Amino acid sequence: MPPEVVLAILLLPFFSFVIISFILRPFFNHRPQLSGYVTIASIGASLLLSIWALIEVSGAEGHVLPMPDYEWLAIGDTVIRIGVTVDALAAVMLIVVTSVSLLVQLYSQGYMRGDGGYARYFAFMSLFTGSMLGLVLADNLLFLYLFWEGVGLCSYLLIGFWFHKPEAARAATKAFLITRIGDFGFLVAILLLYAKTGTFDIGELQHLALAGVLGGSVLTWAAIGIFSGAVGKSAQFPLHTWLPDAMEGPTPVSALIHAATMVAAGVYLVARLFPVFASSAMAITTVAIIGGFTAIFAATMGLVMNDIKRVLAYSTISQLGYMMLGLGAVGMAVANGALPVEAGLALGVAVGIFHLFNHAFFKSLLFLGAGSVNHATGTFDIREMGGLRKAMPWTYFTFLIASLSIAGIWPLAGFWSKEGILAQAWESTPILFYLAMITVFMTAFYMFRVVFLTFGGEYRGQAQGSHGLHESPLVMLVPMVLLAILAVVSGWLPISEFLGGESHSFFGALSGPLAWASLVLAGLGILLAYAIYSKKWLSAESLRRAFAPLYTLFSRKYWLDELYERFFVIRLLVNGLFAALHWFDDHIIDGVVNGIAEGTVAAGRVIRRAETGQLQAYGLAIFIGILVIVACLFIFS
Amino acid sequence: MAVGLEHFLILSAILFAIGLYGALAKRNAVVILMSIEIMLNAVNIAMVAFSRYGHFITGQVFAIFIMVVAAAEAAVGLALIIAIYRSRETVDAEKFDLMKW
Amino acid sequence: MALEIAFWVLAAVSVGAALAVVLLRDIFRAALFLVLCFFTIGGIYVTLSADFLAGAQVLIYVGAIGVLIIFAIMLTRESRRGSPSGRLRLPALVVGLLFLVTMVLVVVGTDWNVVAEPPTEPTTSAIAQALFSGEGFVLAFEIAAALLLAAIIGAIVLVREK
């Protein structure tokens, strides 16, 4: 496979961005749909090339394609090379990104129809996809960081797409700033690694870490720094607060962010640098604990949200926590020596990325479903929906499949990858396993709470009568159906084996007790949701009162937003640091400048007394000067 | 004791110092101008003495130029004094404080 | 021998006259002593065999500048207030004395390469040669002429009644 083809995968979306921005937008603005076609064509081409790359990789030795790299920067003796990596991990990610992106763009054709920023939307989407592809393909940290920031920028642009809405502008700023906190750690880690090893190359860094050349506290801190970047991008605790607010963007953007691009970047980064993490027990334990905690922490908030997209957002955070947990659990086993290094590393990546792969499809489907519902009802509040099953059968059907999949019901996609993570957690750290099991129950409950409230019962909305409800247009339904198929079958694909993980047989998976335990828990969750929200055997209201403190805690999102805003931002930054800096600026910086000026003026006030205006005094001074000069000549010659 | 170059030079120095004192110490602008003329003459004595004891004529030529400048200076200086006297009714140098801050 | 006696007498008179100029309270007398001083300096020039300069000294200083200064004294009508010393009298005295000491030290401490014999020829033609020959001071002479012209015009403009 020629390297130009791989570069084409990366460059096509960028070309699309350039064409839309510089040709279509200025000259063909009266036909905005052209920009949609260009985007779809370029990403479709990328998808085809990605499939080709995947086939090539699966046939290649060691699942790695040799790729040339190029000199990028030469600063003195420092030469920074860039290139692309095409291995199993990259190939899988390419498929995820391009396929989800393509389907989302198709859907957007319908969803964004008539929007004033249609061309801008597709330009940003192209750039977003291209940045993510670059991030996946980059073979060195500096190059990767470039695209990493590109992804952050695009998410800012797209979350704030309707920037005339103050909430959207706020959400965009929040997303950008909070991920930036993590990015700072990532950047520091990159520089730290470069200072210690003199290379940005990921492959070399992995070898150095595995060989033990790179180790000790440097490795630990670098890994934690990189992880902080991943925490920001993948919305892990404690930097998760931006993701639920990111709902202000167009729904297809949410689908893309939650499935294939933005948040996947963090998990991908940990997977890409997995050998570095696994070489430090402390770093990988951090990953596992943060992942496990985030999984259950986010799920609790998902239980009580009334905005359908917020429920989905918390479920995304929770599922990303699963992926981190999977990576962390295997990594801990490797670090402890419980697993052989090579196989263990491959297994960890396989477990984490397999879930990312499956999650991408069912989560984007859920968002597209939410968008479809919104298209019909004009709201995202599930209290104002209900009974949509009859009006929107296709949406209901695909949404149900996705919900079953995320709940981990056999034999849908979610089951297989979640199973893998649970198994690894069980073997490595039982406490995290129990957290994950509780999360399974919660996931099933909150997803089916949404399903029953949205599609079951009678329509409760006031905005328009039930006769106005309609199924979405075909251009939106087709991507949803395609995604629904993928949400069923993606777990059957041998992705895990391809990445070097364990294979599983279709029915053999049901033989173990773990699988049954999680299935029973998921089933219980669904049953409970059915009992409360469909049959109303239990009153949601009385439950809420019974668990009032918990309900308040969850629905107020643990007061983390308030903590960040009131305490960190207002108290520490605005009143503390900024006030101190302001004082420093006023008194020290300005003080020095004003002091010099005032000193000069004061000195002038004194010295000008010498300027008497008396000619004879000046003459006297001249002759004293001559005497001094003569004296000096005598003394020093 | 034979009179030599040193004698003329010391005479020149004495006259110059006297002129300097007068130029710096006196208050009447006309007297200051007179003191300056004494200083110029003192310099001329030194010039001519060098010319005599060095056997080169340039010293005398310079003395002539100094005379020219002294004449010009006296003319302009006295004109200034008279102009100031007209406007300020005094020639007291200590009251000329227009250059003061 | 006669020259030496002449020098000492002239030197003593010129110093005395100069002192009188700066010390006398009567301006008019000070001006007269100034004329005397100029005159004795002309005599000094004679002892230095500078015949042309001696003549010029008498003509310019004694004749022109002396008259000019007396005119100025009369025009400013300040003579009744005398010639008081200013606030800088003491510093001026110290600086003047220090200057004198310095110059005397320099004069005494320097090994002057002198020719004892006086020049035998009159200096007028030599000065003319130096002033007007092509390699001499013709340019400076012209500039001095221009300076004098400017001084004359300047003086007229300054004292002209508005």
What average pLDDT does the segment B58-66 reach? 90
Does the residue B82 lie in any domain? Answer: yes
Tokens of A450: 């949404």
**pLDDT the model gives residue B101:** 59
Instruction: Inform me whether the C-beta atom of residue B20 falls under 8 Å from chain A C-beta atoms.
Output: yes
What average pLDDT does the segment A208-233 reach? 84
Q: Which domain holds residue B18?
A: 5-90
A42/A102 Cα distance (integer angstroms):
9
Rg (Cα) of chain C, in Å, rounded?
Answer: 20
pLDDT for A253-308, tens place per residue?
888 888 878 888 888 888 888 888 888 888 888 888 888 888 888 888 888 888 88
Nearest CA in chain C to B74: C65
The CATH number assigned to the domain holding C41 equals 1.20.120.1200
A67/A73 Cα distance (integer angstroms):
19
**pLDDT the model gives residue A508:** 66
Phi, psi (5° rounding) for residue A73?
A: -130, 140
What average pLDDT does the segment A152-163 reach? 88
pLDDT for C8-23, tens place per residue?
999 999 999 999 999 8
Does the residue B68 lie in any domain? Answer: yes
pLDDT for A338-368, tens place per residue?
778 788 888 888 888 888 888 888 888 888 8
Tokens of A195: 């200072």
In this structure, are C135 and C66 located in the same domain?
no
Residue with tokens 């008081």: C84
Three-class SS string for C38-49?
Answer: HHHHHHHHHHCC
How far is A575 from chain B, CA to nearest CA, in Å? 49
pLDDT for A230-243, tens place per residue?
888 888 888 888 88
ipTM above 0.95?
A: no
Q: Please return the burial class of A493, using the count of CB atoms within 10 Å of its CB with bins 0-12, 13-18 and 19+.
A: middle
CB contact under 8 A, A616 and B23: yes
Residue with tokens 């005379």: B67
Tokens of A532: 């409360």
Q: Please return the burial class of C79, using the count of CB atoms within 10 Å of its CB with bins 0-12, 13-18 and 19+.
A: middle
Residue with tokens 């059907």: A397
The CATH number assigned to the domain holding B18 equals 1.10.287.3510
Three-class SS string for chain B?
Answer: CCCCHHHHHHHHHHHHHHHHHHHHHECEHHHHHHHHHHHHHHHHHHHHHHHHHHCCCHHHHHHHHHHHHHHHHHHHHHHHHHHHHHHHCCCEHHHCCCCCC
Q: Which helix (H) or strand (E) segment is A86 a member of?
A: strand A86-87
Tokens of C125: 């033609």
Instruction: Inform me whether the C-beta atom of residue B97 falls under 8 Å from chain A C-beta atoms.
Output: yes
* Cis omega (within 30 of 0) for bond into A252: no
CA A333 to chain centre: 26
Does the residue B20 lie in any domain? Answer: yes
Residues of B in contact with C76 (CB under 8 A): 30, 81-82, 85, 91
Q: Measure the CA angle with vertex A90, ends A361 and A257; round to 5°.
A: 40
CB contact under 8 A, B23 and A614: no
Q: Considering C63, C78, C93, which residue would you say is the last residue of a domain?
A: C78
Residue A612: which of B20, B25, B100 has the nearest Cβ?
A: B100
What average pLDDT does the segment A31-44 reach? 85
pLDDT bucket at C79, cuts 50 / 70 / 90: low
Contact residues, A window 551-610, toward B, CB-based 8 Å cutoff: 608-609
Q: Considering C17, C46, C78, which residue would you say is the last residue of a domain?
A: C78
Residue C18: which of B18, B31, B71 has the nearest Cβ?
A: B18
Residue A623: which of B20, B32, B97 has the nearest Cβ?
A: B20
CA B61 to each of CA A80, B54, C59: distance values in angstroms, whole numbers, following the listed order: 79, 14, 16
**pLDDT the model gives residue B1:** 59
Strand partners, A70: A82
Paired sense of beta strands A69-75 and A78-83, if any: antiparallel
Residue type, A44: G
Does the residue C57 lie in any domain? Answer: yes
Judge whether residue B45 has pLDDT over 90: yes
What average pLDDT does the segment A311-333 reach? 87
What b-and-e string marks burial along A88-119, b requiring 16 or more CB atoms within 10 Å of the CB? bbbbbbbbbbbbbbbbbbbbbbbbbeeeeebb
Q: Considering C78, C110, C139, which residue would you say is the last residue of a domain?
A: C78
pLDDT for C83-115, tens place per residue?
778 788 888 999 999 999 999 988 888 888 777
Instruction: Inform me whether the C-beta atom of residue B39 falls under 8 Å from chain C C-beta atoms.
Output: no
Number of domains into which chain B is organized: 1
**Does the model's pTM come out above 0.80?**
no
Q: Which domain holds residue C61?
A: 1-78
Instruction: Inform me whether the C-beta atom of residue A623 falls under 8 Å from chain C C-beta atoms.
Output: yes
Residue with tokens 């110290």: C94
Does the residue B80 lie in any domain? Answer: yes
Does the residue B29 lie in any domain? Answer: yes
Q: What is the three-class DSSP state of A485?
A: helix
pLDDT bucket at A505, cuts 50 / 70 / 90: low
A269/A550 Cα distance (integer angstroms):
35
Residue type, A325: L
Neighbouring subunits of A (3+ Cβ pairs under 8 A): B, C
Does the residue B25 lie in any domain? Answer: yes
Judge whether residue A463 has pLDDT over 60: no
C139/C132 Cα distance (integer angstroms):
9
What average pLDDT does the segment A178-207 reach? 86
pLDDT bucket at A138, cuts 50 / 70 / 90: confident
Task: Check the CA dihedral A348-A353-A358-A364 and report its sign.
Answer: positive
Does the residue B10 lie in any domain? Answer: yes
**pLDDT the model gives residue A464:** 56
CB under 8 A, 24+ apart: contacts of A425-429: A425/A292, A425/A325, A425/A326, A425/A329, A426/A514, A427/A329, A427/A333, A427/A338, A428/A288, A428/A329, A428/A330, A428/A332, A428/A333, A428/A338, A429/A288, A429/A292, A429/A329, A429/A332
Of A93-107, A307-321, B87-101, C35-49, the poorest mean pLDDT is in: B87-101
What b-and-e string marks burial along A358-390, b requiring 16 or more CB atoms within 10 Å of the CB? bbbbbbbbbbbbbbbbbbbbebbebebbbbbbe
How far is C139 from chain B, CA to nearest CA, in Å? 12
**pLDDT the model gives residue A574:** 74
CB contact under 8 A, C71 and B69: no
Does the residue B99 lie in any domain? Answer: no
CB A464 within 8 A of CB A314: no
Of A264-273, A373-382, B63-72, C65-74, the poorest mean pLDDT is in: A373-382
CA proximity to A341, closest of A328, A356, A325, A330: A330
Residues of B in contact with C45 (CB under 8 A): 45, 48
DSSP state of A239: S
Q: Please return the burial class of A545, using the count of CB atoms within 10 Å of its CB with bins 0-12, 13-18 and 19+.
A: exposed
pLDDT bucket at C162, cuts 50 / 70 / 90: low
Number of domains into which chain C is organized: 2
Does the residue C124 lie in any domain? Answer: no
